[in-house]
């Protein structure tokens, strides 16, 4: 599935998963219809992430969903992920493309129109734009207060590649992000911390599809 077709995107973070393991949360989220899963887990060792990545590769493959690895190009290659998501201080997009191949999906975190334009010119396949609303779970610029949906609208108008909103998004505000021009939304706590991650993922998808 190509990034333009992604509607809901789960970013893993076990310490925000209400005591549940990441594998269990991902399995439930996939059952609820998420299109892509990003292996984040920055507090784990590379070996632990590798082992988890192997299992998530099996789960996402069975569900025909994309597996994206946060930051680590080498780990993305090691677990045969569909691609990598890079931040503004990570290795350049061109390096990821050289290491993973032309068929790999390369995403980039942005929070301004200029960053978005640079990422698109460098060959990014999609943008993770945020934090849209205030959030404590993602280390991005403006994470405390959020950049707002107006910025989503500006960036979506400035680039041709898909825009995925991230940061403080849940079923109550996801529709506004889509209406502003995002093609999908990425979440952590809205699914991982939910009492029923599968139901939360399903409800989020319904909101996004209805707003599209």
Q: Which one is catalytic: 138, 151, 203, 205?
A: 138
Whether 40 is catalytic is: yes
3-211 in CATH: which number? 3.20.20.70
Whole-number average pLDDT of the chain: 95
Question: Binding site annotation covers 168?
Answer: yes
Structure tokens at 110: 């942005």
Q: Is 111 annotated as a binding residue?
A: no
Domain extents in the chain: 3-211
> Which parts of the chain have pLDDT scores under 70?
136-144
DSSP label at residue 3: G
- The set of residues, in sequence order, having a beta carbon less than 8 Å from that of 121 and lying 6+ positions away, is none
* Contact in structure between 152 and 182 (CB atoms under 8 Å): yes
CB contact set of 42 (below 8 Å; sequence gap of 6+): 70, 71
Q: How far is CA 191 from CA 2, 14, 68, 124, 203, in A?
A: 22, 11, 17, 26, 10
CB 55: neighbour CB atoms within 10 A?
14
- The answer to whether the annotation marks 74 as part of a ligand binding site is no
CA-CA distance, 194 to 192, in Å (whole number)? 6
Is residue 149 part of an annotated ligand binding site?
no
C-alpha span between 173 and 161 (Å, rounded): 23
Q: How far is CA 52 from CA 11, 81, 174, 201, in A?
A: 14, 12, 28, 21
Any known ligand binding at 115? no
pLDDT at 1: 83
Total residue length of the chain: 212
Residues near 194 by Cβ (< 8 Å), separated by ≥ 6? Answer: 18, 200
Distance CA 48, CA 53 (A): 8
User: Which of 7, 40, 49, 72 is an active site residue?
Assistant: 40
Question: Which one of the listed residues 109, 151, 203, 205 is annotated catalytic?
Answer: 109
- Residue 138 bears catalytic tag: yes
Predicted pLDDT of residue 158: 98
What's the rounded Cα separation, in Å, for the pair 129 and 161? 12
Give residue for tokens 């405390």: 144
Q: Is 38 annotated as a binding residue?
A: yes
pLDDT of residue 140: 45
Q: Say what the pLDDT of residue 34 is.
A: 98
CA dihedral 130, 133, 138, 143 (to 10 degrees): 80
């Amino acid at each position: 599935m190509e990034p333009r077709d992604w509607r809901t995107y789960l970013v893993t973070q076990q310490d925000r998963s209400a005591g549940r393991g990441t594998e269990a949360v991902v399995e439930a989220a996939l059952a609820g219809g998420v299109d892509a899963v990003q292996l984040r887990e920055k507090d784990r060792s590379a070996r632990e992430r590798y082992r988890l990545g192997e299992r998530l590769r099996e789960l996402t493959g069975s569900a025909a969903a994309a597996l994206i690895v946060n930051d680590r190009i080498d780990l993305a290659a090691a677990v045969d992920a569909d691609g990598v998501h890079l931040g503004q201080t990570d290795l350049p997009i061109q390096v990821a493309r050289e290491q993973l191949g032309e068929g790999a999906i390369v995403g980039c975190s942005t929070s301004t129109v200029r960053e978005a334009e640079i990422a698109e010119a460098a060959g990014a396949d999609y943008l993770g734009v945020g934090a849209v609303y205030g959030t404590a779970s993602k280390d991005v610029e403006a994470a405390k207060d959020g950049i707002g949906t107006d910025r989503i609208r500006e960036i979506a108008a400035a680039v041709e590649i898909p825009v995925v909103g991230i940061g403080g998004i849940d079923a109550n505000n996801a529709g506004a992000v889509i209406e502003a021009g995002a093609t999908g939304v990425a979440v952590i706590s809205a699914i991982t911390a939910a009492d029923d991650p599968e139901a939360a993922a399903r409800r989020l998808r319904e909101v996004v599809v209805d707003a599209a």
